Structure formats: C-alpha cells, structure tokens
Amino acid sequence: MLTDRYTQALDYARQAHATQTRKGTAIPYLSHLLGVSALVLDHGGDEDQAIAGLLHDVIEDCGEKHEAIVHDRFGERVVAIVLACTDSTEEAKSVLDTQEAKLADWWQRKIAYLHHLREANDDALLVSCCDKLHNAHAIVSDIEHSGFGLAVFDRFTAKREGTLR
C-alpha cells in the first residue's frame, strides 16, 4: 500500500519539475517521473523505492538544495537512492560553456555512472534500471510515432551514436 508519503513525494516532484518538459517535446517532465515510479512498483519495489523513482532527478536537474529537503521529508533511504541515481548536479553542469565541453562531460559522467552501478545496492539498481527502461521506451515511441524518425536523437547531447552507445 502507498501512503500519504507517496502523495507528498508526487506533489514535491510536480512542483520541483513544474517548468520542465521531456527533451524536444511539450510533454511535462512529470510524465517520466511517474513512468519510472510505476515501473519500480511493477517490478516489486516498495514505497521508498517508488518515491525515489519520483524524485530520482530532483537533485540532478533542480539543484543540490533538494538533497536536504528530500532527506528531511522522505528519509535516509530515499535520499540515498536518489543520490545513487545522480550523476551530476545542475550547478556542476551549468559551468560548461561549449558543446564540446558538454559532450566530453556527458561522456565522462556516463562512464563513471556505469562504474558506480557495479557497487550500487539493489535499491539504486532498481530505480536506475527503471529510469533507463523508461527513457528507452520513450525514445522508441518517439521514433515510431512522432514523425521525426531517427532525427529524435538530435535533441540529445550525444546525438544518435552516443545515446545508443
């Protein structure tokens, strides 16, 4: 059973990501967070893991200030999962000034994240895998139904080759 904590986390995610959309679309970013949380639940996750699914991008995309808030509102386990699913922060990414620097930083972060997952606990692996699964599903759906075809990859920092890799 999901409790009021889940509802509070959903509302927190909605507010934190209120102005964000999925890359290259008008789809509210919240749809991704709901999708990840639903996949967590579909794959046997508990409430803390489902809440982490809702909040997995809040520190990375909305800022470091959210770490303390997530900890205070949702507890040590949830913030640990969120941190384990975070490969950088908005503050760290905002200092990059060229596309080349952004691509190099993106690649280094992705490689470091993959190495980090080797040591990650089951909580983090479940949420991270559900995140990647939802992203892959969204890309395939966009390729098949958006009318853009493979041009969908142009919205990503690493374009087609890097994203698929």
The number of domains in the chain is 1
Whether 93 has a pLDDT exceeding 70, the answer reads no
- How many whole angstroms separate alpha carbon 95 and alpha carbon 2? 39
Which residues span the domain enclosing 157?
Answer: 4-164
% pLDDT > 70, the chain: 95
Q: Is 55 exposed, middle or buried (0-12, 13-18, 19+ CB in 10 A)?
A: buried
Highest mean pLDDT out of 19-23, 72-76, 151-155: 72-76
By CB atoms closer than 10 A (0-12, 13-18, 19+), residue 157 is: middle
Q: Does 128 have pLDDT greater than 90?
A: yes
Query: What pLDDT does 94 receive?
Result: 65
Q: For residue range 55-84, list pLDDT tens digits in order.
A: 999 999 999 999 999 999 999 999 999 999
Q: For residue 127, what is the domain's CATH number?
A: 1.10.3210.10
Q: What is the mean pLDDT of residues 148-164?
A: 87
Residue recorded with tokens 């994240």: 113
Q: What burial class does residue 131 get, using C-beta atoms within 10 Å of its C-beta: 0-12 exposed, 13-18 middle, 19+ buried?
A: buried
